Copies of this chain bind each other. A is one copy, B any other.
Amino acid sequence: MVSNQARQPDRADVPEVVVTRLPQYVRVLNRLLEEGIEVVSSQQLGAQLQVTPAQIRKDLSYFGRFGKQGRGYSVRHLHDRLRDILGLNSYWNVAVVGVGRLGRAILSYPGFTPDGFHLVAAFDTNEDVVGLQVGDLTVRSIDELEEVVSGQNISIAIVAVPVRFTQEVIDTLIDCGVRAILNYAPTSPQVHDGVRIRNIDPVIALQSMTYYLADSPEH
């Protein structure tokens, strides 16, 4: 297939910052599809994403040729190819570790399933929590992790445990075969090569904006 020829050789060479932008491209393209828009220029895409048209063209060039000079991109084709490149046409089984207040909010968030992320298991160490029903899931003991992760083909985990347990939990998950971690604890856990981690941290996000406010007269 042409698409695979264009894609496979590049996969490891694509800068991670480019990969992190692609899901946002998909989101914008999805909205354009819903609005019935069939063709989009790099200028229009760039305006939606607040990056330059040159950046858009450079990002996409890692994955082959999508647009024709002066004619813009086919929204449908680009959308479908980027979803394919990102692995979004698969279903992904996801475990949640830590069922405190935050873990419960995550388990009840309706936004994962429509995008193919199925929360299929929840774990905690607290005996008062293990066995409880949260949504469709019964909270399991962390001791069952290995069995469930391999049995349910889970490659992604969402970790919402206190900072002092985070690294240990993540190490255990990786030992059990998990290869991608979404971490909500305000810390930066270490993972070895071949494992991906993203940290969701509102304080870090706020702190990266105060830089721009720090010159204002009132501060």
Contact = CB atoms under 8 A, between A and B. Distances in A.
A5 interface: no
Contacts of A216: 155, 179
Contacts of A23: 203-204, 207-208
Interface of A: 11, 17, 19-20, 22-24, 26-28, 48-50, 85-88, 90, 92, 94, 101-102, 105-106, 108-109, 111-112, 115, 117, 153, 155-156, 158, 179-180, 182, 186-188, 190, 196, 198, 200, 202-216, 218-219
A109 B28 CA distance: 30
A55 to B, nearest CB: 12
A90 B219 contact: yes
A190 B50 CA distance: 8
A88 B188 contact: no
B86 A207 contact: yes
B87 A203 contact: no
B214 A86 contact: yes
26 contacts: A11-B215, A17-B17, A22-B207, A22-B208, A23-B204, A23-B208, A27-B187, A27-B204, A28-B188, A48-B188, A85-B214, A86-B211, A87-B214, A88-B207, A88-B210, A101-B105, A109-B202, A111-B202, A115-B206, A115-B207, A117-B206, A155-B216, A180-B209, A180-B213, A182-B205, A200-B202
Contacts of A202: 106, 109, 111-112, 158, 182, 200
Contacts of A203: 23, 111-112, 115, 117
A200 B200 contact: yes
Nearest to A185: B111
A158 to B, nearest CB: 7
